[in-house]
Structures are given as structure tokens and as C-alpha cells.
Amino acid sequence: MVFPAVQSTNISRSSQGGHSISQLCGSSQAKDNMNLAKVSQVQSASKCLHQVLRLATLQRANLRSLTVRASVAAPERRQESVSKQSPESLTITQPDDWHLHLRDGPAMQSCVQHSAAQFGRAIIMPNLKPPVVSTEDAIQYRQRILSALPKDTPFQPLMTLYLTDKTTADEIRKAKESGIVYAVKLYPAGATTNSAAGVTSLDKCMAALEAMVEHGLPLLVHGEVTDPSVDIFDRERLFLDRVLAPLLARLPDLRCVVEHATTKEAVEFVRSQDATRVGATVTPQHLLLNRNALFQGGVRPHHFCLPILKREEHREALLGAVTSGSPQFFLGTDSAPHERGTKEAPCGCAGCFSAHAALELYATAFEEVGALDKLEGFASFFGPDFYRLPRNSKKVTLRRQTWTVPDEYPFATGTVVPLFAGRELGWSLQQST
């Protein structure tokens, strides 16, 4: 299996503006009408959404997708029903972030505290320049992360190795024995930010992959083909068929995470696999935004990430998956900060920074479909269960409190523009004292 390089994407300067989620996710009139018809059928049958939700507990599988569609098609009604049934605060077991880019040096020093304030642990992505290819690199990087935090901060970085054509079985053994490396990341060469040193052919990695099976280290997959002739919106779907399915068939005991799943095909693919073997992380941006958000009134470079935002039907499938209670879907922000000027540029970098408000953003998405009760499993239980680690014991509380996301945060010698910059969020994470 070979991964040819992807062409670069041009991104122009644009300003951030305030738009509601429903504006950014607008669906077609025909679809709205169809969905409104469904809503009215539901309402006449059960009189109010409260009754629908009670019914949904009995017939959850069938009614879940209907509830999601209703919420997208009728935002006003959604607001009304959500506020009736939503709590003022939500206390859950402390979550972890199973997909995080922390960068290095001054950039890392300016962003790591955002994640440490939200999460107990995080899987740290290895796509530095140069990448984290050896156990020794991972040990040193982990030390730099811990040194950037105030002493006794309980945040635990869980390190990963960057798979290359040259990764040896012996390096995998060392990684496992180190006790600080929890997974190995596959970047097809050229697929995304700092992936130039990634894998050009899985055939070259078989010894390392077999060693991962032997030592029980999962493979974390950036699942996009890199063939520049493939439409950017199809790259994840084709990767699953052409690369991941054959790999899983070739190595039946390899465990793997489809990172930042973005499509209904990815949801179906993950669901079709053994739940203890294949999981998926889902980002806040893919739950809250569809591809219209890339072009809302002009090009929006701060909504550009890879895999790219998809159509509304895919966002709905992701919302359905994360609120289904399935242990295969767990929290991974893919928070990927880039200095403002490198995104607002003729060829802007891919990556959304979400660590500043990760839980608040996820709570917003779950509340949109009346599924706040499903947040704790997704955010705090299913990730550690998949990685066979203990769940956290500490609790955190989200309060219903409106705040405005700052336009930017300090980042290295410049600034980073956070997801939802300048917009209001209705939930606020209480800092523990």
C-alpha cells in the first residue's frame, strides 16, 4: 500500500465573525421541510420532546437519528426543549483527551496549561519537527512537557511514537518497555501537518506493526489517502476501504483507533469492527460544524483542519455515534494550534485550536441533541477503557454560565485564534481549587 504526497491547499486571510451553530450548519430547504414533517409527526404522536425522549429510552436505536435530525432542522424548537430539560450544572468524572497536539518549545509552553486545566491525561501526538520517532525522543519530549507545567500539576502526558518506513520491531519493544509510550501514530506521508516523514508504504512497516501486536500497542490512524487526484472530501472514506480494512484483515490482532473520524462511513466502519479492537476519536469541530463553516461569508482559515469538515449528514452521523453510548467512540480534541499568521496566509496550515474550551464545546454539541447524559461515557470512560487504563477518580463540574471566547490567546511569540473565537459558549468549566 503506497501513499503518494498530497498537494498543498491555499488559504486566504479572512476575519472571524459571530454566527450561531445553526447558521454555520444550515441545511437545504427541501431537507428542512422533510425534517420538519418528521418533527411534526413526532410531536403529534407524543405531544412534546420530553415524551419523545422517554420513548427514545425504550427505542433509542431507531429514534436517536430522528432526534438528531429534528434538532438540526428546527433550531428554535430545539432551544426551547433543551432549556426545559437541561441541568444548571453537570458533574462528571474528569475526562482525558485521547488526541492532542502540544507542539514544542515556547509554543508548547503557551498552550499546555489549557489542556492541563481540562484533562487528567492526554495522548500526545508525535508530529513535531523533527518527529518523535524513538523511545528516547518520547522520554525527552515528555520531560519537556512536564517541565512546562507548574510542579505537582496532575496532568499526565501519554506519549506516542511516529511510525516511519524505518521503525524497527526493536524500537516498538523499547517503547512498550519504557512504560511511557501508549501507542504508535500512522501518518500517511504528506497527509497533514508535519507528515512528510510519515509512512510511504505499509509494506515497509510490517515488522513494526507485528511488534505492536506482540506488545499490545495500538495503532492510531490518520485515515486519509494522499492521492492528489482523490477529492479531499472522499479521502477518509477511501482510506478505510483501501488501506485500513486490508490492514486489519492482514493483522487480525492489531488494535487501532480511527483518529478524528469525520464521516458516516467512518462511523459505520468502526461499528462493524470488534469494539475491543477498533475505536475512534471525534473532535469538537466535527460535531459542531459542517463544511459550510469553511466558507461562511468568506474563507475561514481557522475552521480548516484535516480531515476537512464534511457535509451536514456526516456531522449528524458523528453526533449519533458519540451520543449512542457506544464505547467505541471517545473524546479526542485534535487540538492543533498554529500561530495566527501561519493560518491566515496564502497557504494556511491545517489544524483547529480547541484546548481552551474543549469540554464546553463538547457539552454544547451533546446538548444540541439533548444527550448531556451521554457526555461522561464519551469524555471520561470509553477512552481509558479502550487503552486498558483506570478511569480517573476526580470529578469536574460544568456550569451553565455564558462566556465569550477570546479572539486570541498568546502562542509562542505571537497568538493563536481559538475555535469559536469571539462567540458565546453557554457552559463554563469550573476550575478546581
Binding site residues, ligand NCD, CB under 6 A = 101, 127, 192-194, 222, 305-306, 334, 336, 350-351
Which helix (DSSP H) or strand (DSSP E) does residue 279 occupy?
A: strand 278-282
CA distance 71 to 69: 5
For the CB of residue 433, give the shortest distance to ligand NCD in the complex, in Å: 33
For the CB of residue 419, give the shortest distance to ligand NCD in the complex, in Å: 12
Q: Which residue is nearest to ligand NCD (CB)?
A: 351
Contacts 24+ apart (CB under 8 A), 57-60: 60/324, 60/325
For the CB of residue 414, give the shortest distance to ligand NCD in the complex, in Å: 16
For the CB of residue 222, give the shortest distance to ligand NCD in the complex, in Å: 6
CA distance 260 to 262: 6
Q: Which residues pair with 97 in a beta bridge?
A: 122
Nearer to ligand NCD, 176 or 315 (CB): 315
Active site residues: 99, 101, 185, 222, 260, 334
For the CB of residue 172, give the shortest distance to ligand NCD in the complex, in Å: 21
Nearer to ligand NCD, 107 or 248 (CB): 107
Residue whose C-alpha cell reads 422533510 in the numeric block: 34
Nearer to ligand NCD, 265 or 334 (CB): 334
Supply 177's cell numbers.
518497555
Q: Which DSSP category does 308 fall into?
A: P
For the CB of residue 191, give the shortest distance to ligand NCD in the complex, in Å: 7
Supply 144's cell numbers.
519537556
Which helix (DSSP H) or strand (DSSP E) does residue 404 occupy?
A: strand 395-404
Residue 158, classed as helix, strand or coil, is strand
Q: Name residues whose C-beta falls within 8 Å of residue 194's C-beta, 6 or more positions apart in sequence.
A: 127, 128, 129, 131, 187
Sequence letter at residue 75: P
Nearer to ligand NCD, 27 or 290 (CB): 290
Q: Which residues pair with 93 in a beta bridge?
A: 395
CA distance 88 to 86: 7
CA distance 197 to 183: 18
* Residues 275/329, Cβ–Cβ less than 8 Å: no
User: Cβ atoms within 10 A of the Cβ of 167, count?
Assistant: 23
* Residues 60/346, Cβ–Cβ less than 8 Å: no
For the CB of residue 49, give the shortest distance to ligand NCD in the complex, in Å: 35
Nearer to ligand NCD, 205 or 336 (CB): 336
CA distance 139 to 236: 32
Parallel, antiparallel or unpaired: strands 409-411 and 414-416: antiparallel
Nearer to ligand NCD, 142 or 185 (CB): 185
Residue whose C-alpha cell reads 498543498 in the numeric block: 8
Residue 194, classed as helix, strand or coil, is coil
Nearer to ligand NCD, 95 or 332 (CB): 332
